Structure formats: C-alpha cells, structure tokens
Amino acid sequence: MNDSTDDEPKFVIRDGSGDATGSDTTDGDEKRSGWSRLVKEVAIVVAIVLALMFVFTQFFFRQYVVPSESMESTLHGCAGCTNDRIVIDKMVYRFSDPEPGDVIVFKAPSESWDDVWQSPRSSNAVVHKVQDVLSWFALQPPDENNLVKRVIATGGQRVECHNADGKGVTVDGKPLDEPYIDKDLQVDTSAATDGVLGKGSCYGKDFGLTVPDGNVWVMGDNRSNSADSRAHQGDQYHGTVPISDIRGKVRFVMYPFSRIGGVGDHDPQG
C-alpha cells in the first residue's frame, strides 16, 4: 500500500536565496541607508549653521546683555528685572573711529573696572573649555568683563566738569547737549541717597583731564549712578578706554520685545 498521497502537505526548505528572505534583507539595507543619509544631512546643516554663527559672531554682530542700570533710561538692566539684550556692530570700527555719542560695548581695560565682576566660566576645567568653544558661536558669553557706556570725548579733547560753575560736563570748554539723560531719574537718585549720588550739575564729583590719543572717555546715561570713566581715573589709562578694547557699537535692542528698537547716537558736542 502506498503511504504517500497527493493530498498530503508539501514542505519546502529554502536556502536563504529565495524571494522572501531576500526582500527582508533589502528592506533592512534601505532603512539603514536612509538613516545614514539623514544623519549626514543633519550634520551638514548643523555644520553650516555653526559656521555662519561663528562668522557673524566674530566679525559682524554679537548679542550682549546689559549688566546694570548705568545706562537707563536708554538701556535697561538691573537685578531681578528683564535686562535688555542688545546687538552690537563689530564692523563699524574696523573702518572708522568711535565718535562722541556712540553707545559702545568694551572690555574692561584694567583691573579697576573688575571690582564686582565674576567670570561666567565653570571651575571644572573640561566644562570651562566647552564653554570657551560655545562662546565662539555666541552660545555662551565671552570670558571677559564687558561693559556698555556712551562715548563723551575722544583722543586729544579736554573733558571736565565743575559743580561750582553749573555747566555740567564740558568738552574743550563747551557744555554738552545731552537729551539722553533723564534728569528726573538723577533727582530721584540723589534724594534716595541723601545727595551721595547725583549731587550738583556734574551728578557726581568734579573731574578734568585731556583724553590720550587712541582712547575715549565714556560715561553712563544714568549719570548719577554709573561707575564710568570718572570712577577709574587712578588706573594706567586715567579712566579712559583704549579703542582696541572696544568690541563694537550698540545698534539696537532685540529683547524684551516691548523695547525692540534702535539705539540713538546723538552727538552731545553738537
């Protein structure tokens, strides 16, 4: 009697070269290839973005945060408030010198300016290096004490102020036109400090000097509450700032949104 019949199931053993197994392998290769292309494309986009950020940060524009109230009400900055984020033009002084009325960001030219400044870097050496690299792309602040003030006088000019004459600050004997100073704010500051700050037409102590060539004399718009050139006359630059330490000219406020707009450069010398 024959044990095999046509109705019995047939079993087929495939050696891996059949259509079913080959299709699975092809799908897997395509998926891996797709992910590889995606990773490469993302890496290229990130590299391009970082390259552009580096170029713009190093040569054209950079963002800074206003650190104090010394430039109020032109720029806002204070503990516990939303400090202005400003954008500076780094190209302008490659082709010209700072002029009276320019609002500038500069590196502290001497230790005298570093009284309360603390480095934003981590004490961990590895993290510190990472932060240094990130600062090249404006993803971390630079490891230097940056300040923002207004240029009042330039090299060779005589800048001075004597409360007794009631003229306020003068340059080469001519009183300045300073509409950016909020006089009500100066009065309030003087009252709040019993005259220690904001006293007299100079909104502070008398001073006078001739600005060295290649340097500028800077002051805050919040004249009665600004540790500007007046506060550092004992350093090697007599309170002035070398042009080489200037990082750029402030062009506009980018944040908060309620204060977005350009920053004026009214020439106080007229």
**261, 252 Cβ separation under 8 angstroms:** yes
H or E stretch including 242? Answer: strand 241-242
- Phi, psi (rounded to 5 degrees) for 136: -65, -25
138-181 per-position pLDDT tens digit:
889 899 999 999 999 999 999 999 999 999 999 999 999 999 99
Query: Of the given ranges (49-58, 59-68, 202-211), which has the lowest mean pLDDT?
Result: 49-58
Selecting among 68, 90, 149, 226, the annotated active-site residue is 149
Residue 149 annotated in active site: yes
Per cent of the chain over pLDDT 70 is: 89
Residue 10, pLDDT above cutoff 60: no
**pTM, entire model:** 0.82
pLDDT of residue 16: 47
- Give one word for 108, left, alpha or beta, with left for phi > 0 and alpha for psi -120 to 50: beta
The model's confidence at residue 4, banded by pLDDT at 50, 70 and 90, is very low
Selecting among 68, 70, 224, 226, the annotated active-site residue is 70
